[in-house]
Homo-oligomer: A and B are copies of this chain.
Amino acid sequence: MIDYIVTTGANLYHDLHHSLDLPLSQGTPFVNDNELFEKDIIRIYDIFMEYEVLAATDNWLMRTFSRPEFQKRMGTRELHYLLGKFADEVEKERGTVGKSFIAEAYRYEVPIYTSSPGDSTLGLDIAALNLVGKSIYIDSSIDVNETAALILEAKQIGKSGVVVWGGGSPKNFILQPEPALQEVLGFDIKGHDYFVQVTDARPDTGGLSGATPNEAVSWAKIDPDTVNQSVVCYSDTTIVMPLLTAYLESCKIRRKPKRLYKKLPKLTDKLREKFLQQKDLILGKRSVADTIQFLKGSKG
């Protein structure tokens, strides 16, 4: 039921431990971390893993990223698809099929993006390979234009919506195609029709993570006519995600997978073409000349 995903590199990196059949265990956060350090045990809140788990994952990633398929400039959709393909292979070998979402996304051709390609061990491994002369490069602009192309298409054939788990940079990334299309590229489209967020971030700190759907209306990220249908649930995602998934299961809704992965190059070409037809409107609702006029005006 998922069309595309924006997540962090860390989620993808630690997902691969499952593909590689490496052991993680759940414990308690009330531990002595200096003792863990002595014993080469790594902790993520209440999840524990031996240092070997990271070393083995890095070793597999280094060998995988060194393959000829990766030696190019690409967006993260392609990077994660290729990783998913090799994760799928290793899962078949090791009997771990279905344990990772990166391989599952590969199998259903669901594009996965990350907003911060250098952040996480995936990014560290790629940078290390660059140091020794490998030519694997990530270009975030490809991702930016592809996600804008996706929303432009969605808006032309129907409605659009997002489900946000948590906040941070991925929240901004999944919402920014709306201003990209309207403000930067000058398309006359509306904000999202549906918006659901599960987060523990509070609005009153002023940050984007806790920003309300109403605030997003002022940015044209959400359609003012449908914002009343938005849902924000203030809770830990690990409580709500199983509940919502169980509910969707119980509804027995079946959707044909959209398999967007392969459609994206064509959609991006379409975006480029349409944009070039109107590039004198490059700054959205106002022309460049008007804006310069305004800039001058704001001084006088």
Contacts and interface: CB of A to CB of B under 8 A. Distances in A.
Interface of A: 8, 10, 20-23, 28-30, 33-34, 36-38, 40-47, 51-52, 54-56, 58-60, 62, 73, 94, 115-121, 123-128, 130-132, 137-141, 143-145, 148, 166-169, 172-173, 176, 179-180, 183-185, 200, 202-209, 211, 214-215, 217-220, 224, 227-228, 232, 234-236, 238-240, 243, 271-272, 275-276, 279, 282-286, 288, 291-292, 294-295, 298-299
Contacts of A214: 30, 33-34
Given A42-B218, A45-B215, 16 more contacts: A23-B298, A29-B203, A30-B214, A33-B215, A33-B224, A37-B217, A44-B206, A45-B207, A45-B211, A55-B285, A56-B295, A127-B180, A131-B271, A138-B139, A166-B207, A205-B234
Contacts of A127: 140-141, 144-145, 148, 180
A169 B166 contact: no
B52 A294 contact: yes
Nearest to A172: B119
Contacts of A38: 224
Nearest to A116: B116
18 contacts: A33-B227, A37-B218, A37-B220, A43-B215, A44-B215, A45-B203, A52-B298, A55-B286, A59-B288, A115-B169, A116-B119, A116-B140, A116-B169, A118-B144, A119-B176, A124-B179, A235-B239, A239-B239
A143 B116 CA distance: 11
Contact of A206 (B56, B140, B238, B240): B238
B137 A298 contact: no
- This protein's copies in its complex: 4
B184 A217 contact: no
Contacts of A36: 217-218
Nearest to A295: B56
B55 A283 contact: yes
Contact of A283 (B62, B115, B168, B176): B62
Contact of A124 (B20, B55, B132, B180): B180
